[in-house]
Structure 1
Amino acid sequence: MTLEFLTYPGYRFPTEIIDHAVWLYHVFSLSLRDVELILAERGITATYESIRQWCHRFGAEFARKLRRRRPKPGDTWHLDEVYLRINGALHYLWRAVDQRGVVLDILVQDRRNATAAKRFFKRLPAGLKYKPRKIVTDGLRSYGVAHRDLLPDARHRTSRYLNNRAENSHQPTRRRERQMQRFKSSEQAQHFLSSHAMIYGHFRPRRHLMSADQYRRTRARAFQRFRCKDCRWP
């Protein structure tokens, strides 16, 4: 009896191998060559360039479908920005998380002014299809301008101490930035971090707020959503 494996159109490796490689790369701080070595230990000969293509091709689609299936985020948004140095030029990664630490969206821009803040504020409600009850930011005045123009009904609190959720959410990005020896372009950073934030966060619930049983159930649901037929490439 010959076993038939599901494959993505145009790809010779089974979907299970491609999905596992993408999962490894985004959930753990591994390089492409590290993932290649892990697969080789299991008897799978795939080059790191193939893995790079898989992550680029399927990572964004997995993230998009996981984002579509996730529960509705909270109504309190924590916003923060952190600098990225790309090819010697200073860029800024704008990030929004809810009160449970779930990443809502990210945006890489080369400015840190009111125009950049407004661009990020416009992107958030458009992607989430609803508006927040409260916004928490640091003391950057650009947030106030964007809040008054675009989300005036939401309560705005400014505090460097209440915004730890957003600031802590930058840590996985910093680890990957070091692992990848910095990003090569703003487009690469946007493409990778949009996928990474969703896939990484999907498998990293706030463990310290859960009992062991709750964590195991949450982890099982995370694997189920990632492996479900609706989350695969059509």
Structure 2
Amino acid sequence: MDETYIKVKGKWVYLYRAVDKYGDTIDFMLRAKRDKRAAKAFFRKAIKSSGQPIKVNIDKSGSNTSALNSINKPLSKEDQIEIRHNKYLNNRIEGDHRFVKKRTRPMLGFKSFRSAARTIAGIELLHMIKKGQLADNDNYNSDFDKFLWFCRICENSVQKSEK
């Protein structure tokens, strides 16, 4: 797990990202602040979508450490998440940030937080398709077919939420 910076309205905001040991994206979230509350929200979101990890590699950020400690607090010793602080163990996600940065850097920032969040979600989706992470990968011939399939699913969920 790591965070990187994205410029929105001339100010830096934080893109929290997590990848597994194989380099597959677990989750991502854009937040205005880099504090314990933001880190805890990201960890809860990632755990909800992908399950609780056994180990988490993080940098020496105090907010990430305190968020993980607060998540570990109510858990028994056997169920607690092992926190590993080692800058070299984070190389996989640091390299994975490159793809997002490659797409956002030429934009010179975003005008609104909402447009940044939606654009980054699209960038992350395309990166996940490229890495072959989407379910039912075998049913589609190309990455474009996978993208269309995912867009249909998103469109259906938006329509259901509007009703």
Note whether the superposition's TM-score is higher than 0.5: yes
Please point out which of 44, 52, 71 is paired with 1:131: 52
Residues 223, 181 of structure 1: alpha-carbon distance in 2 compared, 3 angstrom cutoff:
farther
Q: TM-score, normalised by structure 2?
A: 0.76
Unaligned segments of structure 1, at least 5 residues: 1-78, 206-219
Answering whether residue 69 of structure 2 is matched by residue 148 of structure 1, we say: yes
Match of 1:35 in 2: none
Q: What CA deviation, in whole Å up to 9, does each residue of 1:136-194 have, x standing for no partner?
A: 00000111111111145111101111101111111111111123232222211211212
Residues 192, 151 of structure 1: alpha-carbon distance in 2 compared, 3 angstrom cutoff:
farther
Answering whether residue 83 of structure 2 is matched by residue 161 of structure 1, we say: no
1:156 partner amino acid: I
2:53 match: secondary structure? coil
RMSD: 2.4
Answering whether residue 9 of structure 2 is matched by residue 82 of structure 1, we say: no
CA distance in 2, matches of 1:201, 1:106: 12
Unaligned segments of structure 2, at least 5 residues: 74-79, 157-163
Instruction: Provide the identity percentage.
Output: 27
Verify the 8 A CA contact 2:14 2:30 in the aligned structure 1.
Answer: yes
Q: Which structure would you say has the larger Rg? A: 1
Q: How many residues align?
A: 141
Match of 1:173 in 2: 100
Please point out which of 92, 109, 118 is paired with 1:182: 109
Q: TM-score, normalised by structure 1?
A: 0.54
The 5 Å alignment of 1:174-213 reads 174-204=101-131
Please point out which of 37, 47, 53 is paired with 1:115: 37
